[in-house]
Amino acid sequence: MNRIYTENLECGLKMNCRIKIILMLLTFLVGVKVSQAFDKKLVNLDGTKLSAKVLTVESGCVEQVFVDGKTRLKCVAQPYESVRFRLFAPEGVWNLKPYVNVTVDFENTGANEAFVRILIKDVKTQSESWYRPNLSHNAWIAVEESRSFDALLVRHKYSNPAVKPSYMDLFPKMHGLPHAQMLVWYGVDVTQISELLFELQPKAYAQTVYVDDVRATRRASPVLLEKNPDAFFPFIDQYGQYIHEDWPNKVMSDQDLIRQRKLEDQDLKKYPAPKSYNSFGGWNQGPTFKSTGHFRVKKVNGKWWFIDPVGKLFWSFGCTGIGYQPVRIALPGKAHFYAGLPDLDDPNFGDLYYRDRRKGFEPPDYKGVNAFLGGDYILRKKYGDSYREIFKSRSLRRARSWGLNTCGAWSSVVKEQPDNLKMPYTKELWVSGKQLKPIHKLVDPFEAKFSAWVERAVRGNEFAIDDPYCIGFFCNNEIHWGANPVKVVRDIINCDDSVAARRALGAFFAKRQVEVSNASEADLLAFYSHLLETYYKKCRDAVKKIAPNKLYLGSRLHDGALRKEAFSAAAKYCDVVSVNVYEKDVKAFNVRDERDQPFFTEDVPFLVGEFDFGALDRGKFFSGIGFAADQRNRGECMEYFIESALDNPRCVGAHWFHYYDSPTGSRYFDNENANCGIVSTSDTPYVELIDAFRSMAKRLYSYRNNGSTE
């Protein structure tokens, strides 16, 4: 049990404590028996010696041994060596559609922590990269630890219609279905899993790990939903939690909210901001450079850093969305998902929290409204009528206590921060104007008013323009520059002359003395680069004109824009290139696409605007793009990611996405219902993840300064 949950039991259950604990244990034991009966053994290690058809060892020492009354796989890696082996489905494929996880029992008998990677392959998997979209998992086993590791089965929504459950239409616009089925645009065909690839990663020391059991576990489809769909609904309670599962720290009443608040007050008092941080979150024990009163970047001893306003080295360890957020849950088509929502005429929680999304929206099916502010409903119960102001201060206290030093994009707390809680922040700019439709989310940079539109966006954040705590500005977010630049330019060619980019293209080719109809691929790529450079140059110039002391942080490049031309253009004009990295680490950005190698080699600083890892052990159905086995593994994956970022001499920071989980039934404007948050939808902090944040913060600057110890 985690620390806060244990304190809840000690402080809150009083007379019925023993009875409830006994009932919990009985329920757990019954659940274990039922679960074990449902489990499916994938490879029989207790049988005869595994044949080459089932086990193939590619490196290191792997052997079947008889220990403690059972047969196990013993894996031994010498210093700086790896162990790599494969387990194949004895009958060719495993159909694992009924299951959520592939669970592997490990035991570490070595003198140091062991690091194992697991890759789940279907019959069509070709690349064996450990990076997404392959279904790989990182597992750490502590010294003398036995660990059951749940490798999540992420279902590729489009690989095979058979992976979709028959009741999928009952849950519209949800990436994850009850009670733990991820159906998304990456992953594997879970009906045709062919093999499991294991690799004990090389370390400076020897490693010895035993594999005791490999099995499929956890029922993917809720029994109640199969037997009586009508009884399954509603399945989300008034605190935004899944009804048909229990877990540590689940909120069961309003009293639980109050009790958690009081316990967290003690925790925040016990853990103030790290001692190594100065008032800006910079390294107070490090060297001092010229003070400019604003953030800037500087290369020091071969590594890029931010320099904070008082001249101290600063590495941005942040989180997006810190502070109050209007967490809207969509009601049209989903009102029956929710239990315990207040009546519209409730004097305290009625019409105050029901909202229309926009005028002209299709007729709603719930009391004449389209959305309910579920977050406000919970926060008011927990913090009282002044919950928004209280929550602002609490959010900053939390962030500082957890070891964060930056409020990332979409953080509502950044404006008018209390003097004693101020934190550095980045600010996003929403540049509005005429869209260049072939490219999603791009305002046409060739429009005559484009620079004025960017300047207007900067002026709209007047509070940040000369604020020492403002690091700089992003311009828009995750522009879809296109996977195929040639196609992007051909789409622009097909536009009429009312489109500024089309007119600019004609002038560009005329200057090169090239007919548009006869343009070569090289000509098209040249205009693509010209488009990118025009955008980034005009954004930079506009930001610097209005806010000359602030850094231009780019456009938060992402997986839909991982083109070397985009990074090269950003590198040319941005003070810091921003990129959202949903990978296991920051060791490589574009390893999946050979067309663009070498990729982003410019010696400029970059900032990871988003990364995260989610798990499905706390009532959520979608982990997000970065997936983990459980809450502990979320913290392990976070620390591994941050260490890789600190090891990269060009990386100047990384921001976790997001402060809050997305709603269990999905956000009102899209399908996302992820366990992405540091805090759940019931405003319950994930203590395992927070412990990892605090651990990382303690060694953040010493690690960056000294580098990896391995």
Residue by residue, DSSP assigns 40-66 as EESS-TTSSPPPTTTEEEEESEEEEEE
The Cα–Cα gap between 304 and 372 comes to 45
Report residue 539 as tokens. Answer: 């954004």
The per-residue pLDDT for 30 is 43
Beta carbons of 189 and 161 less than 8 angstroms apart? no
C-alpha triplet 441, 588, 572: angle, nearest 5°: 55
Given CA atoms 377, 380, 381, 385 in this order, what sign does their dihedral have?
negative
Going through 220-338 in order, the beta strands assigned E by DSSP cover 296-300, 303-307, 313-314, 316-319, 328-330
> From start to end of 476-619, where are the E strands?
551-552, 577-580, 606-611
Per-residue confidence (pLDDT) for residue 286, from 0 to 100: 97
pTM listed for this prediction: 0.93
**pLDDT value of residue 133:** 65
CA distance 173 to 672: 8
d(CA 510, CA 504): 10
Predicted local distance difference test score (pLDDT) of residue 438: 86
CA–CA separation, 604 and 304 (whole Å):
8
Evaluate whether 392 touches 413 at the Cβ level (below 8 Å).
Answer: yes
What pLDDT score was predicted for residue 130?
87
Phi, psi of 238 (to 5 degrees): -65, -15
DSSP assignment of 584-603, as one string?
S-SS-S-TT-GGG-S-S---
Residue 309 makes CB contacts below 8 A (sequence gap 6+) with: 280, 291, 292, 293, 294, 295, 468, 469
Yes or no: say if 355 and 369 are a contact pair by the CB < 8 Å rule.
Answer: yes
pLDDT at position 356 is 58
**Chain position carrying tokens 């929550």:** 391
Angle formed at CA 431 by CA 427 and CA 436, multiple of 5 degrees: 140
The pLDDT tens digits for 245-281 are 999 999 999 999 999 999 999 999 999 999 999 999 9
Instruction: State which residues of the chain have pLDDT below 70.
Output: 1-36, 133, 351-352, 355-369, 560, 590-595, 709-710
Half-sphere exposure (Cβ direction) of 585: Cα atoms closer than 13 Å: 17
User: What pLDDT score does 46 carry?
Assistant: 84
SS (H, E, C) 88-131: ECCCCCECCCCEEEEEEEEEECCCCCEEEEEEEEECCCCCCCCC
Q: CB of 234 within 8 A of CB of 244?
A: no
Model pLDDT for residues 117-171, shown as the tens digit of each residue: 999 999 999 889 888 767 899 999 999 999 999 999 999 999 999 999 999 999 9
**Contact in structure between 181 and 220 (CB atoms under 8 Å):** yes
